[in-house]
Amino acid sequence: MHTATLTRPLTYTAPPLTFAEAAERHLDDVFGYLLYLTRDRATADDLTGATFEKALRQWSRFDPRRGTARTWLLGIARTTALDSFRADSRRRKREEAAAEPEAREADFVEGLSPALQTALATLSVGEREVLALRIVIELDGDQTARVLGISPTAVSTRLSRALHKLEEKVRNDDLR
């Protein structure tokens, strides 16, 4: 009679993650991703703050069954960054149509070789973000696809292309 009770598998339900815990745990991921996107620490700082402010407002909508807090926060970070880019683009168009894009930091990631920094600068934002998510933050293909809103195959293709381009740029710089 008691055997059934004893053999029943024990289930452990983790207590729900608080926003503070999620922020503490994934701050570096969000910041790193935004840094690779913007290539500017100050902008990445601002966008990281904006991301967490927005995330706090939307925290009640977070459903752990639909994805991890990390992918959810990175998704918000991406939207925040794109909104910022869009606003910048509109501002530039409005103020000075022929103006050059604002200069970015040459060494936006500390410790990275100058050749790699330069090569990264030649990549598009889309290529840098897939590198950041898959290589730097080490999300898997499905999680990256979820953040970017594309298929895992597209993620794989985009990553492969970015790495190839990066490798080529670095090699060319070495030859020079």
Partner 1 sequence: MTSAELITELQATRPAADGVLRDRVRAIAATESVRRPSPFARLSRYSPRRFALVVLPATAVVLLAVAGIAGLLDSGSQPGGIEAINSDFSSRSPAVPGSAATTAQGKIAPNLEKGVAAADTAVPAPTSGRAERYSAQLTLSVNDIDALSAATQQALRITRDLGGYLVTASYATTDSGTSSLTLKVPTANVQQAIVRLSGLGKIVAQQVQIYDLQGQVDELTKRENALRLQIIRLSARLATTDLDAETRATLEVRRAAASSALAQVRGASAQVNAEARFATIALMMQTTQSSAAVPVPSRFDNAFGRAVEILAVEAMVVLYALVIVGPLALLALLGWLTRRALRRHQDAQLLSAQ
Segment interacting with partner 1, rule: CB under 8 A, options 1-9, 85-93, 139-147: 85-93
For partner 1, which residue of 80, 129, 139, 146 counts as binding (CB under 8 A)? 129
Does residue 154 touch partner 1 according to CB under 8 A?
Answer: no
* HSE-up of residue 102 (Cα within 13 Å, Cβ side): 13
* HSE-up of residue 48 (Cα within 13 Å, Cβ side): 21
For partner 1, which residue of 91, 153, 157, 171 counts as binding (CB under 8 A)? 171
Query: How is residue 105 annotated by DSSP?
Result: P
Between CA 168 and CA 41 the distance in angstroms is: 26
Asked if residues 146 and 71 have their Cβ atoms less than 8 Å apart, the reply is yes
Q: Within positions 37 to 66, which residues make up the interface with partner 1, using CB under 8 A? A: 45, 48-49, 52-53, 56, 59-63
Q: Which residues contact 6 (CB under 8 A, 6 or more apart)?
A: none
For partner 1, which residue of 17, 68, 136, 161 counts as binding (CB under 8 A)? 136
Asked if residues 127 and 165 have their Cβ atoms less than 8 Å apart, the reply is yes
Least Å distance, CB 142 to partner 1, is 18
Does residue 144 touch partner 1 according to CB under 8 A?
Answer: no
Q: What are phi and psi of 40, to 5 degrees?
A: -150, 120
Does residue 72 touch partner 1 according to CB under 8 A?
Answer: no
Report helix, strand or coil for 128. Answer: helix
Q: Which two tokens stand for residue 168?
A: 């080529």
Which residues are near partner 1 by CB under 8 A? 18-20, 23-24, 27-28, 31-32, 35-36, 45, 48-49, 52-53, 56, 59-63, 82, 85-86, 89, 101, 109-113, 115-116, 121-126, 129, 131, 135-138, 163-164, 166-167, 170-171, 174
